[in-house]
Amino acid sequence: MKLSPLAEELNRTLEREAPAVLEMLSPLGRRYYFPKGILSQSAEAKAKAHRFDATVGIATENGTAMHLPAIQKHFQGLQPKDLYPYAPVSGKPELKEKWRAKQLAENPRMRGKPLGSAVVTSALTHGISLVAELFAAEGDPVVLPDQLWGNYRLTFELRHGSIVETFPFYEGEGFNSAGFAKAIEAAAARSRKVITVLNFPNNPTGFTPSPADAEAMAAALLGAAERGSNVVAVCDDAYFGLFYDETCLKESIFGYLAGAHPNLLAIKLDGATKEEFVWGFRVGFLTFGAGGPGDLAKVHDALEKKVQGAIRAGVSNSPHLSQTLVLKALEAPEFSAEQAQKRRILQTRALKVKEVLRRPEFARVWTPYPFNSGYFMCLRLKDLDAEPLRLHLLDRYGVGVIATARKDIRIAFSCVDEKNIPEVFDTIYRGALDLLERKV
């Protein structure tokens, strides 16, 4: 397929300033560009059309966006201009600026690093999809732990034909950093490009590695880059900030990777979904952190234009209303205290789960996987399979859990009040005994 001149221009920029990043792009990623069409003409008109602006595909009335009173009455204190018009494809500028300040405040290792602008996505799943479109091609290895969010397989394998290669997530009571390094090395030996997704706190296990593990992971990725591999390291920070003990890393591993090497492209995916407890708002962010001697501002700009092309081709732009509400929250003086209070509730629930799981009788039917963060924890069943137990708990006791593997079940303590946690695990135990008795 012949490339658009705009795509060729972006590719030339990458070839000049960061040739390894150009090599990382999938065939689709190479083709992407942001068109200089209606949107760019409308942007120019917004800046210069001081008399009449007849460019934007919305309706206006009395100098503002046309709207229905039946809808506007639900948004007291919010202006129509912040609700109804299309948001820019890359996101509301004020929100992007505020989110960047938040990222830097919470992630000391990001400070002073070459970073792109945070492009707004329709939450993290959309961000992962965009990354896959730009970088994942048929046959590319995607290194993931065996404890993984199933949607990665849909995105990378089903949609793009990449190959998910897993390693054991745990080594004893901690993260298997040696297994990760071995998996990266093996993938790099077979492929010029290696993609990995670093999801901490992890879904489904609710585990975050230690700072020492983060150093080891960064060293493994840097080593692969230094040996000539092109490494795309995607940091899925969906549950960022939900850390419940002193052993785990308290910032994104993105800060360890951004700007580290010309052959290593770090990508940060985060969002308001869990951090602000607004799951249905669908507001996420995608940030690039390239490295090397070239003009990285131009590299990030070229990549962001390709992302904007993908957004424009897929969903056009993310919802304006959600972006405005997230921005209002970040601007509110009470935001930090309210966020901290909700995090304490989740921490209290996690600690209650740990307390309940100390009961010795439970050892007969399961072993808990280590957890220290996030929404979830997992149990490894001993003499039962997960799916029959899941169905039995639903049918007989009205209790829902997730079977994530043949022997593993996931419990979301995030949606169970602390007072009910003992009953939940008692019921799971009782259901397991029911099935064990049937086997006798």
**CATH number, domain at 172?**
3.40.640.10
pLDDT one-digit tens code per residue, 219-231: 999 999 999 999 9
Domain boundary among 305, 331, 357: 331
Domain boundary among 331, 354, 375: 331
- CATH code for the domain in which residue 431 is found: 3.90.1150.10
Does residue 327 sit in the same domain as residue 347?
A: no
Average pLDDT, the chain: 95
CA-to-CA dists, residue 297 to 14, 96, 116, 403, angstroms:
11, 16, 7, 44
Instruction: Give the model's pLDDT for residue 49.
Output: 64
Query: Into how many domains does the chain fold?
Result: 2
* Containing structural domain, residue 114: 5-34+89-331
pLDDT bin (cut points 50, 70, 90) of residue 1 is confident
pLDDT one-digit tens code per residue, 270-324: 999 999 999 999 999 999 999 999 999 999 999 999 999 999 999 999 999 999 9
Does residue 265 sit in the same domain as residue 400?
A: no
Does residue 56 register a pLDDT over 90?
no
Residue 69 inside a domain? The answer is no
Residue 183 inside a domain? The answer is yes
Does residue 279 sit in the same domain as residue 377?
A: no
pLDDT bin (cut points 50, 70, 90) of residue 41 is low
Instruction: Give the model's pLDDT for residue 63.
Output: 85
Global pTM? 0.95
Does residue 20 sit in the same domain as residue 148?
A: yes
Does residue 417 sit in the same domain as residue 379?
A: yes
Residue 376 inside a domain? The answer is yes
Does residue 421 sit in the same domain as residue 303?
A: no
Residue 53 inside a domain? The answer is no
Does residue 369 sit in the same domain as residue 323?
A: no
Domain boundary among 331, 364, 395: 331
Does residue 266 sit in the same domain as residue 142?
A: yes
Residue 58 inside a domain? The answer is no
Does residue 258 sit in the same domain as residue 356?
A: no
Does residue 96 sit in the same domain as residue 173?
A: yes
Residue 49 inside a domain? The answer is no
Residue 51 inside a domain? The answer is no
pLDDT one-digit tens code per residue, 372-401: 999 999 999 999 999 999 999 999 999 999
Does residue 286 sit in the same domain as residue 368?
A: no
Residue 155 inside a domain? The answer is yes
Does residue 292 sit in the same domain as residue 352?
A: no
